[in-house]
Structure 1
Amino acid sequence: MTLAESDRERVVGELGRDPTRAEAALFENLWSEHCAYRSSLPLLSAFDSESEEVVIGPGDDAAVVEVGEDVYATFGVESHNHPSYVDPFDGAATGVGGIVRDTLSMGAYPVALADCLYFGDFEREHSRYLLEGVVEGISHYGNAIGVPTVAGSTSFHEGYEGNPLVNVACVGLLSPDRLVTAEAQRPGNRLLLVGNSTGRDGLGGASFASEDLAEDAETEDRPAVQVGDPYAEKRLIEANEELVDAGLVVSARDLGAAGLGGASCELVAKGHLGCRLTLDDVHQREPGMNETEILLAESQERMVYEVAPGNVEAVAEVAEKYDLGCSDIGEVTADGRYVCEFDGDVVVDAPAEFLADGAPLNDLPMTEPETPATDYDLPALADAFEAVVASPNAASKRWVYRQYDHEVGARTAVRPGEDGALLALHELADAGVDTADAPGIALAAGANPNWTACEPYAGAYATAVENATNLAAVGATPVAAVDCLNGGNPEKADVYGGFGAMVEGLADGCRDLSVPVVGGNVSLYNDSNAGPIPPTPTLAVLGTTDSLDAPGTAFAGGGTLLLVGGHDEGLGGSELLAEFGGTDAFPDLPGDAGAVVDALAAVAGDDHTTAVHDVSDGGLAVALAEGLTESAGAAVAVPSLDALFSEAPGRAVVETTDPEGVKAAFDGVADVVELGESDASGTLTLDVGEETVAYDHADVAAFRETIAAAMD
């Protein structure tokens, strides 16, 4: 990839001369789709990003929201898609490292990760190879740095065969007095580069992420993939904590896309300032690096700090304590220019804001997606149930999350495998706040590519509802969301049309839920020889709860089973149609999603509620199957196969000893249907129309081990 001719003309017009080699490379990377959002930025105004809890919204390294008295949470999400195809282990591992450093740059300590992974058809050996490498990379890095992975999703769809997606979210915690931003504050302050030494790995990563994957990407693009060192990251986490505690950091930005050039330029541009850097002073691990390599290498585990001149020595001492490199590389200036010297020559001299924010936006044509026709044939009940429950998308993901350390930090109260994760807020107790009710935060994340492949708008809207429902199922109320918007080549009108519909649907869904979207990431050009990926709106939602005592998804036995939200027979986007073929429009969206979520969260916290499980992948059939245990079963009646397998959003199965109380809670909000009773049989009996099937716990458990059986 080289600087486009139209961009070159714009740069020449601004500079009054041809750009130097280093300047051309900087513009190419900072004006890439990955950094400048040239095709997506015109669409992102659809999102609401403000609320009483939002402290810092979009535009910084991570968002900041208030989650308790004098407790802030940072929240961000990032993609590492192309690198994870070329090198699944290092690509996924460095994705974790990058989003954690976004957390550090705000002054926070990282406390939780969520990973959302998307691969091609599970039956393909290559998909399983990518799955194994990506999960190993995430677990290796996350476990080593001591940040628990507590939530996420894993999906399979043929559209990801040539271009998997790895989206990772991170939550951090801090007190208000520790808040740092990625905005330079004062001319005369020094810029320090702290962390690992700079090498040639990851060169051109931003531009690499802004073009379609080629057939030979696994070999030809390997140099564009960064190589991580989680033990250096752990030392950087602790050093950052000490620097912030001591008040030595004025502003900060992590080195990710476009390396030092991206981080330093964006830092000063955001503050409407400039800087003058001496690239020779950057600590390097490879001899003979030129100015372009030093500026654009995406070597990991590095941060740039703005530091008062009198504190440079103190920062260097902390860096040395944690065996990290530290270079005083330049000064913040008042003239607004981004200037770099190398080997005695000025190699970059451009307006910082023009370099960071001057990329022209694309005005691309869109083709509106069509609504699928209703055309399918239903299989027999037993065939349908066994195929859907055993499908990789609906089967147990335990093989994935058991490789992650989800308890490090002693916060995790509800672990992976439930609808949402819950984490304790020890900070409230430390601050002397009464924590008798054990308040905490909740996290859920994911997207269903079948939904948005069916209808991008409705599927994305449903993604918002489903993630909020996951939080409500554990008694939490959503307060903020971040999104990772993944799409194919936006220069194709049908692909861009699907992407635009997805953005609109997600924005409308979050708005109707009163959940501000406080940050995110856009990843386009996810195309390969296999074609474009489905529009994929990964959403991570952060919530708060007054109690960590949440109902699980497993039945207790001896209660009434209710379907909150009622039956729906729309099969569009369902796992049933993915398994057996056919098409259908996406099911109806809930009339008042926010009211449904609020009511469900209240019901989940009721003493009479013994289990709650949202209805999503695989529909009601899978929700019931996942409630089965060796000592708890159920006898359930459902009017039709369509109703059993519909994945209409905003619904949940509730096991309760007070069915009338649940019905009263949803009166005027949503329909509530009695499904049957739970018992101590360990058997699930389904009466559907004129068909009846019964499966004991061992049968269902065996169906659900599809992934583990193939990967172990």
Structure 2
Amino acid sequence: MVEPKAEQIRNERLYRGMGLTDAEYDCIVAQLGRLPNWVETGLFSVLWSEHCSYKSSRRYLKRFPTNGPQVLQGPGENAGVVDFGDGIGIAFKMESHNHPSAIEPYQGAATGVGGILRDIFTMGARPIAFLNSLRFGTLDEAHTRYLFANVVAGIGGYGNCVGIPTVAGEAVFDEVYRDNPLVNAMCVGVLPADGMVRGTASGVGNPVFVVGARTGRDGIHGATFASAEDPHEKERSAVQVGDPFFGKLLMEACLELIATGAVVGIQDMGAAGLTSSSAEMASRADGGIELYLDAVPVREDGMTPYEMMLSESQERMLVVMERGKEAVAEAIFAKWGLPIANIGRVTDDGRLRLWFRGECVADVPVSLLVDEAPVYDRPVAAPAALPGREVALPETFPAPETALRELLGHPSVADKRWIYRQYDTTVKAATRVGPGGDAAVLRVPGTNRLLALCCDGNGRYVYLNPRKGGAMAVAEAARNIVCAGGQPLAITNCLNFGNPEKPEIMYQFAEATAGMSEACLALNTPVVSGNVSFYNESRSADIHPTPVIGMVGVIEDERYVTPNAFQQADHAVVLLGVEDDSLDGSLYWKTLAGQPAGDAPAFDLAAEVNLQNLVHRLIREGRVVSAHDVSDGGLAVTLAELCIGGGMGVVVEAPAGAADLSASQASLRAAGWLFSEAPSRICLEVRPTDVAEVLAAAAEAGVPARQIGWTGGSRLVVRTTCEDWVNVPVAELAQVYQDALPNRMQVPVTPGA
């Protein structure tokens, strides 16, 4: 390849094809005092991309609370780490692989899993679990079924091969994700609390090694691709190809190398490949780095410096070793049969300098590449009309039993066994509660404590009310940890939004992150890592703003692990929280109106904190047999899931209503009580002897509470003084709930349909 000269790059504005704007290129020229060459322009194009530089989001991310006594490592490293107790640290992070998955769903999802895996063991942590959060269009469309089937296969294909269980996740189906699915992958690992390794290139003269797979031409400009407005217009070559078996070997070799104590710094070659790993490691050390690209192991002939620096070939790491310990690294990687090459050294001049065939092909300040990337204060404007507020409730409502069946069969609510049966959820035998629980629960080696994990988000709420919706996403994740018996510790996040160049999208982002920050402060769950994914739109349609929360929590003892299914007949059912009957933001109203309707559900952060503290206390007092929070589909779906999971029925008494209601008013009241998605509500199964104590504790805590029914029998019954709103066999509901996804996915999923 004959690379364009610097004058040609400027005159023909070739930098635009790399994703740089005229203003950004002019800034680079001014700071360098000269025109950058082709390689240097490529370096800036990827590190100044939205995906790497966070240039539109950085000012808002500073709002997040990131400190606390439980935080061992906050944002800025490959992953966050929290103190789990007993000398153990938990490393975790979530990232997106949305655009690659829209083009090559299997490899896009698989390499998303592989990439987040490397972020965890880079910290010196042994990965123990995967989670994922998925968003797709409606399964009525063949192309959506093709994307969905192959993303799930890609997640399972990589995770199963590396021998790490996939223990939790969520999947939502909505037409707004039709052309831009969201694939967010989370990984969690365990390490000694004092054994972290950071991604830093320090120690002048220390050698720099590239280890793992050879470098190819796959994934070049992947970071720019992830910042593109319409990924469907990009080449498939921007999507990387993963090898999970190679990834497993790389993980074991790196962990063995880290255990020697001879590693100064280590970083995954993820987005922007060798460019980001080398420049970011040098930046963290306030130093420089010099690379000799002739030494980089490649798998294709004739690769240029530009291609080697921008390639995002998978299963590669950059390692800085103590000088004199080179043989240690070489012996370990030879043992595992993996390539290793000494390609450079650490310097103290603050520059990234690249050599190829005896010529210096790039020489730029590290600080300019990494720390001085542009930070934009994008225009922010609320929409002229708030979405959903003008949508009217229908004049007539379906029968409650009909609506309940429809909601249980909705792919967003329905049983997700079709997905997680394709994952190994129990490998290594540490999974105490796997997929299907409010949160996953894992045993952690070296302690009697257990780890609770979940990921949650609701783009519909954030679309209707960004600030409230952002806070509710954090609160729901914490509520799920508490329902499983845990104490929330901290969060990671994946912030999936549309085009930041649109003022209304930046309004969504600004408000949602503000709401998240408020909830994190109130719930004492600092943000320790995360990812921003902008430009999630196709054919000019933005997705719903979708912040996804990954949360970890601690369960101090096995006794506190709490199921989310009825356990025994003749137990009381207690509803904690306000018996709200508003349909704002609910999936029920959305299915009737064909669009999100009303406001987001009413939410009181102080009430949420009181509720979670109460349930945490009641579980530790041994007064809770099972617990399940109210979320998508409302109280009726929560009760149905408790019944289906436990294989038994329940009889529930709805509040008495006014006798003079019209037929339409009575229908609205029934629909509201059954299907409202008002948060800060949890259904508890309680032994009869504990009911009085539970109600008294709730009154003392200021949490509304009422015994609403009794477990037992084979039917789900919801009745008032004058009629049954619902009276249906649990087995019938279970069939609807469990068959929904398999029945839809039996339809052919031909690629390209």
| Partner of residue 163, structure 1 | 180
The answer on 1:585 being equivalent to 2:615 is: no
Distance 2:579 2:167 in 1: 31
| Partner of residue 281, structure 1 | 295
Displacement of 1:356 in angstroms is 1.3
Q: What is the letter of the counterpart of residue 199 of structure 1?
A: G
1:34-49 alignment runs, 5 A limit = 34-49=51-66
Change (3 A) 1:270 1:162: same
Q: What is the letter of the counterpart of residue 289 of structure 1?
A: M
| Partner of residue 336, structure 1 | 350
Residue among 529, 551, 568 paired with 2:562:
551
- Larger radius of gyration between Structure 1 and Structure 2: 2
Residue among 549, 558, 564 paired with 2:576:
564
Residue among 210, 222, 230 paired with 1:213:
230
The answer on 1:78 being equivalent to 2:95 is: yes
SS in structure 1 opposite 2:512?
helix
Displacement of 1:371 in angstroms is 6.4
Asked if 2 retains the 8 angstrom alpha-carbon contact of 1:63 and 1:518, the reply is: yes
1:103-502 alignment runs, 5 A limit = 103-214=120-231, 216-217=232-233, 220-369=234-383, 370=386, 372-373=388-389, 375-377=392-394, 378-428=397-447, 438-502=448-512
Asked if 2 retains the 8 angstrom alpha-carbon contact of 1:157 and 1:450, the reply is: no
Change (3 A) 1:187 1:570: farther
Q: Cα deviations across residues 500-523 of structure 1 (Å, max 9, x unaligned)? A: 211111111111111101110000
What is the TM-score normalised by the length of structure 1?
0.96
CA RMSD of aligned residues (A): 1.5
Displacement of 1:69 in angstroms is 1.6
| Partner of residue 750, structure 2 | none
What is the TM-score normalised by the length of structure 2?
0.91
Displacement of 1:569 in angstroms is 2.0
| Partner of residue 5, structure 2 | none
Distance 2:652 2:235 in 1: 53
Asked if 1 retains the 8 angstrom alpha-carbon contact of 2:401 and 2:728, the reply is: no
Q: What is the letter of the counterpart of residue 384 of structure 1?
A: A
The answer on 1:529 being equivalent to 2:539 is: yes
* Identity among equivalent pairs (%): 39
Distance 2:401 2:519 in 1: 35
Distance 2:733 2:540 in 1: 34
Displacement of 1:227 in angstroms is 0.2
| Partner of residue 27, structure 2 | 10
Displacement of 1:384 in angstroms is 1.5
Distance 2:140 2:584 in 1: 23
SS in structure 1 opposite 2:130?
strand
Distance 2:323 2:484 in 1: 49
Asked if 1 retains the 8 angstrom alpha-carbon contact of 2:401 and 2:727, the reply is: no
Displacement of 1:497 in angstroms is 1.1
Shifted more, 569-578 versus 249-258: the winner is 569-578
Distance 2:509 2:724 in 1: 41
Q: What is the letter of the counterpart of residue 59 of structure 1?
A: G
SS in structure 2 opposite 1:365?
coil
Residue among 678, 700, 713 paired with 1:648:
678
1:47-66 alignment runs, 5 A limit = 47-66=64-83
Q: What is the letter of the counterpart of residue 696 of structure 1?
A: P
- Gaps in structure 1 of 5+ consecutive residues: 429-437
Asked if 2 retains the 8 angstrom alpha-carbon contact of 1:422 and 1:548, the reply is: no
Asked if 2 retains the 8 angstrom alpha-carbon contact of 1:512 and 1:593, the reply is: no
| Partner of residue 432, structure 1 | none
Q: What is the letter of the counterpart of residue 347 of structure 2?
A: T
The answer on 1:634 being equivalent to 2:650 is: yes
SS in structure 1 opposite 2:263?
coil
Distance 1:394 1:530 in 2: 28
Q: What is the letter of the counterpart of residue 699 of structure 1?
A: E
| Partner of residue 696, structure 1 | 729
Distance 2:492 2:31 in 1: 35
Asked if 2 retains the 8 angstrom alpha-carbon contact of 1:155 and 1:449, the reply is: no
Asked if 2 retains the 8 angstrom alpha-carbon contact of 1:571 and 1:586, the reply is: no
Shifted more, 386-395 versus 664-673: the winner is 664-673
SS in structure 2 opposite 1:496?
helix
Displacement of 1:631 in angstroms is 4.5
Displacement of 1:270 in angstroms is 1.2
SS in structure 2 opposite 1:555?
coil
The answer on 1:709 being equivalent to 2:730 is: no
Q: What is the letter of the counterpart of residue 594 of structure 1?
A: V
Asked if 2 retains the 8 angstrom alpha-carbon contact of 1:566 and 1:673, the reply is: no
Shifted more, 664-673 versus 238-247: the winner is 664-673
Displacement of 1:690 in angstroms is 4.5
Displacement of 1:306 in angstroms is 0.8
SS in structure 1 opposite 2:427?
coil
Asked if 2 retains the 8 angstrom alpha-carbon contact of 1:603 and 1:609, the reply is: yes
| Partner of residue 661, structure 2 | none
Residue among 564, 568, 575 paired with 2:587:
575
Shifted more, 570-579 versus 613-622: the winner is 570-579
- Gaps in structure 2 of 5+ consecutive residues: 1-16, 656-669, 747-753
Asked if 1 retains the 8 angstrom alpha-carbon contact of 2:584 and 2:598, the reply is: yes
Displacement of 1:606 in angstroms is 4.1
Displacement of 1:483 in angstroms is 0.7
Shifted more, 172-181 versus 199-208: the winner is 172-181
Q: Cα deviations across residues 38-72 of structure 1 (Å, max 9, x unaligned)? A: 11111112210111010110000001111012101
Distance 1:263 1:532 in 2: 31
| Partner of residue 434, structure 1 | none
The aligned length equals 699
Q: Cα deviations across residues 302-355 of structure 1 (Å, max 9, x unaligned)? A: 110110121111101111111111010100001111100112211110111111
Distance 1:233 1:302 in 2: 9
Displacement of 1:702 in angstroms is 1.5
Shifted more, 228-237 versus 690-699: the winner is 690-699
| Partner of residue 678, structure 1 | 711
SS in structure 1 opposite 2:446?
helix
